[in-house]
Structure 1
Amino acid sequence: MPANASSQPSAPQHAPGARPRVVVTRKLAPSVEARMAELFDVVLNENDHAFSRDELAAAMADCDALVPTVTDALDAQLIAGAGDRLKLLANFGAGVDHIDLKAARAKGIIITNTPGVFTDDTADMTMALILSVPRRLAEGEKLVRSGEWDGWSPSGMLGHRIGGKQLGIVGMGRIGQAVAHRARGFGMDVRYHNRRRLPESLEQMLGASFEPDLDALVAQSDIITLHCPRSPETRGLIDARRIGLMKPSAYLINTARGEIVDEAALIDALEAGRIAGAGLDVYTHEPQVDPRLLALKNVVLLPHVGSATFEGRRVAGEKVIANIRFWFDGHRPPDQVLEGWM
Structure 2
Amino acid sequence: MRPSKIIPYYYKASGPFGQSDVTVTSIITSDRLDVFARLVDKYQGPISVTFHVKNITGEVPRILERLRTIYASSELMSRFVDVHLVIDSFDRQFNTWRNIARLFARTDYILMLDVDFYLCTDFRKTLRKNPWIMRRLESGLAAVVIPAFEYTNFQEGKDYGKFPTTKAELLKLVRRGKIDVFHWGWKPGHNSTDYPRFYSASPDEIYLVTEYQSAYEPYVIFKKNGPPWCEERFVGYGGNKAACLFEMYLSGVMYYVMADHFLIHQNHLYEETARRSERKYNRKIYSGFKEEVCFRYLRSYRDTGLLNTTRARNAIAECKKLKPIRIAAPETVILVCFGSRDRSTVGVYGLSGHLIQIGGTIVWAHDDVKALLGSIADVVYDDAPNRKAFLAEFKPGGKYEGTIGIYRENESAKKLGVFDKELIDGLPSSVRWIAHNGAGYDPVDVRACVAKGIYLSNTPGAVDDATATTALYLLISTLRQYSLAERSLRSLKWKPAGINTNSHDVTGRTLAILGLGGIGLRLAELVQSFPMRVIYHSRHRNPKAPSYCEYFENVEEMLAQTDVLSVHVPLRPDTVGLVGEKWIRALKPKSIIINTARGKVIDEEALIRALEDGHLAAAGLDVYPNEPEVNPRFLEFPQVTLLPHMGTENQDSQRKMEVRALTNLRDFLTTGMGKDLVQEFKQQQHQPAVAPKVISKL
What are the ranges of 5 or more consecutive residues in structure 1 without an aligned counterpart? none
Q: CA deviation at 1:330?
A: 5.9
CA deviations 1:105-158 (Å, max 9, x no partner) are 332322222231111111111111110111111111111111122x799x5555
Specify the alignment match of 2:428 in structure 1.
83
Counting matched residue pairs gives 331
Equivalent residues in 2 for 1:33-72 (5 A)? 35=369, 39=374, 40-43=378-381, 54=388, 57=391, 63=400, 64=403, 65-69=405-409, 72=413
Relative distance call for 1:330 and 1:166 in structure 2 (3 A) is closer
Specify the alignment match of 2:451 in structure 1.
106
Of residues 162, 165, 179, the one that matches 2:506 is 162
Specify the alignment match of 2:480 in structure 1.
135
What are the ranges of 5 or more consecutive residues in structure 2 without an aligned counterpart? 1-200, 209-253, 257-308, 314-335, 337-342, 347-351, 686-698
CA contact (8 A) 1:24 1:42 kept: no
Residue aligned with 1:126, SS: helix
Q: CA deviation at 1:90?
A: 1.1
Specify the alignment match of 1:259 in structure 2.
600
Specify the alignment match of 1:20 in structure 2.
354
Q: CA deviation at 1:333?
A: 2.7
Specify the alignment match of 2:81 in structure 1.
none
Residue aligned with 2:484, SS: helix
Specify the alignment match of 2:460 in structure 1.
115
CA distance in 2, matches of 1:177, 1:293: 29
Residue aligned with 1:140, SS: helix
CA distance in 2, matches of 1:265, 1:309: 32
Aligned residue identity for 1:340:
Q
CA distance in 2, matches of 1:270, 1:56: 45
CA contact (8 A) 1:20 1:328 kept: no
Residue aligned with 2:528, SS: helix
Bigger drift between 11-20 and 159-168 goes to 11-20
Aligned residue identity for 2:366:
V
CA distance in 2, matches of 1:171, 1:341: 21
Q: CA deviation at 1:262?
A: 0.2
CA distance in 2, matches of 1:317, 1:253: 27
Residue aligned with 1:306, SS: coil
Q: CA deviation at 1:324?
A: 2.3
Of residues 504, 511, 516, the one that matches 1:172 is 516
Relative distance call for 1:104 and 1:156 in structure 2 (3 A) is closer
Relative distance call for 1:269 and 1:279 in structure 2 (3 A) is same
Aligned residue identity for 1:20:
H
CA distance in 2, matches of 1:45, 1:192: 46
CA contact (8 A) 2:407 2:662 kept: no
Residue aligned with 1:90, SS: strand
Q: CA deviation at 1:56?
A: 6.5
Bigger drift between 53-62 and 320-329 goes to 53-62
Relative distance call for 1:59 and 1:112 in structure 2 (3 A) is farther
Residue aligned with 2:344, SS: coil
CA distance in 2, matches of 1:318, 1:15: 26
TM-score by length of 1: 0.84
CA distance in 1, matches of 2:460, 2:580: 28
Specify the alignment match of 1:197 in structure 2.
541
CA distance in 2, matches of 1:95, 1:304: 12
CA contact (8 A) 1:27 1:44 kept: no
Aligned residue identity for 2:580:
D
Relative distance call for 1:45 and 1:3 in structure 2 (3 A) is farther
Which of the pair is proportionally richer in helix? 2
Output the aligned Cα RMSD: 3.2
Relative distance call for 1:180 and 1:30 in structure 2 (3 A) is closer
Residue aligned with 2:560, SS: helix
CA distance in 1, matches of 2:504, 2:389: 48
CA distance in 2, matches of 1:274, 1:36: 54
CA distance in 1, matches of 2:632, 2:436: 32
Q: CA deviation at 1:310?
A: 1.3
Alignment of 1:294 onto 2:635: yes
Residue aligned with 1:198, SS: coil
CA contact (8 A) 2:365 2:659 kept: no
Specify the alignment match of 2:471 in structure 1.
126
Residue aligned with 1:118, SS: helix
Q: CA deviation at 1:316?
A: 1.6
Of residues 82, 93, 96, the one that matches 2:438 is 93
Relative distance call for 1:178 and 1:249 in structure 2 (3 A) is same
CA distance in 1, matches of 2:388, 2:473: 38
CA distance in 1, matches of 2:390, 2:537: 37
CA distance in 2, matches of 1:160, 1:16: 65
Q: CA deviation at 1:4?
A: 4.8
CA contact (8 A) 1:24 1:68 kept: yes
CA contact (8 A) 1:224 1:253 kept: yes
CA contact (8 A) 1:28 1:313 kept: no
Of residues 219, 225, 235, the one that matches 2:576 is 235
Aligned residue identity for 2:442:
D
Aligned residue identity for 2:666:
R
Which has the higher relative contact order, 1 or 2, with Cα contacts under 8 A spaced 6 or more apart?
Answer: 1
Aligned residue identity for 1:43:
Y
Aligned residue identity for 2:527:
A
CA deviations 1:13-54 (Å, max 9, x no partner) are 9933644131234443244388369834322579xxxx9765
CA distance in 1, matches of 2:453, 2:606: 41
Q: CA deviation at 1:278?
A: 0.3
Q: CA deviation at 1:340?
A: 2.0
CA contact (8 A) 1:24 1:43 kept: yes
CA distance in 2, matches of 1:288, 1:54: 26
Bigger drift between 254-263 and 61-70 goes to 61-70
Q: CA deviation at 1:329?
A: 4.4
Aligned residue identity for 2:589:
P
CA contact (8 A) 1:170 1:194 kept: yes
Bigger drift between 213-222 and 19-28 goes to 19-28
Relative distance call for 1:225 and 1:304 in structure 2 (3 A) is same
CA contact (8 A) 1:26 1:68 kept: no
CA contact (8 A) 1:32 1:317 kept: no
CA contact (8 A) 2:460 2:518 kept: no
